[in-house]
Structure 1
């Protein structure tokens, strides 16, 4: 399991005083109101940035960091990821998982037959869609619904699925 969870990506600057627009990669952008800091992936290291102010604009979060008061201090980090330690993550409900924990998971059919590997998760709004890389079927899109996802075993790193008619 990952020690860090991605909470957003810096898309661009906002104004000239060092604020940034962030595309949230969390289900609840309001979560930024509860965070004291984030870890910025600078490309070479993780830099801890204390959050001074949080605002919301459309589907973006506007963040102001302590000690970052100039557009030139932050502009070079456009496109960079923001992370938090796992222990700062939200409590999950039953049958909820962090995407980071699912990626790379082995996928098997309900009869135990190997099917593929979970390569990515597409967030569509209604329900997530799991992108499974299958040697036999290529890329398979599977809706993350109870009828299709029978079991997720994080300890064994295995997901058991049911393929509905018409999926492959």
Structure 2
């Protein structure tokens, strides 16, 4: 577990929060007059945000990819969540009107990975794929290290892996990064223990 310390003139208290928190979305605005939060989920798979009712919120007003506000996590209980177009509308315990909900604008939503819904053997959470070493194929069929997965996003049809290329991989693509569809046609094996993805993505010299 990790710790947040709160110090006043009279007391020192410790708030425990899980050390496996995963950032899943960001509050973009309030919604309606009853204090709903409008949340932009980072993944097309919204199951965790919809089914887990124990959230950790990081107050944040910066626009950086990684928060630099040096805020402390705050735990909130979620009363309800539902899909609204590409967003999620959530009701947080204790937030009763638009003004209170607006105070959450820009805040980042985290959930303990231990609470994620179980998935099938051939399914993966995007957070598990980020950081994996990605291997492609040469024309002779042998494997070659291309780079590491830096991001996963959805293009509407399927997930896309963003690969930051190894500078020693000299290919005719001549790019610092490549985008690979995360589909069976290209992906041969995903090994989360060794953090390796083997693919048939062809690298031409």
Match of 1:38 among 36, 55, 62: 55
* 3-state SS, counterpart of residue 162 of structure 1: strand
In the alignment, structure 2 segments of 5+ residues that lack a partner are 1-18, 61-70
Aligned residues between the structures: 166
Residue of structure 2 in register with 1:125 after alignment: 156
* 3-state SS, counterpart of residue 135 of structure 2: strand
Q: CA deviation at 1:106?
A: 1.1
Residue of structure 2 in register with 1:146 after alignment: 184
Q: Where do 1:64-75 residues align within 5 Å?
A: 64-75=91-102
Q: Is the 8 A contact 2:78 2:92 kept in 1?
A: yes
* 3-state SS, counterpart of residue 153 of structure 2: strand
* 3-state SS, counterpart of residue 7 of structure 1: strand
Q: CA deviation at 1:154?
A: 0.9
Cα separation, 2, equivalents of 1:74 and 1:4: 23
CA RMSD of aligned residues (A): 2.5
Match of 2:36 among 5, 11, 19: 19
Matched, 1:163 2:201: yes
Cα separation, 1, equivalents of 2:45 and 2:130: 20
Greater shift after overlay, 30-39 or 130-139?
Answer: 30-39
- TM-score, normalised to structure 2, is 0.70
Match of 1:101 among 128, 140, 150: 128
- TM-score, normalised to structure 1, is 0.83
* 3-state SS, counterpart of residue 111 of structure 2: strand
Call closer, same or farther: CA 1:154–1:28 in 2, change over 3 Å. Answer: closer
Q: Deviations over 1:34-59 (max 9, x none)?
A: 33221112241221111123344322
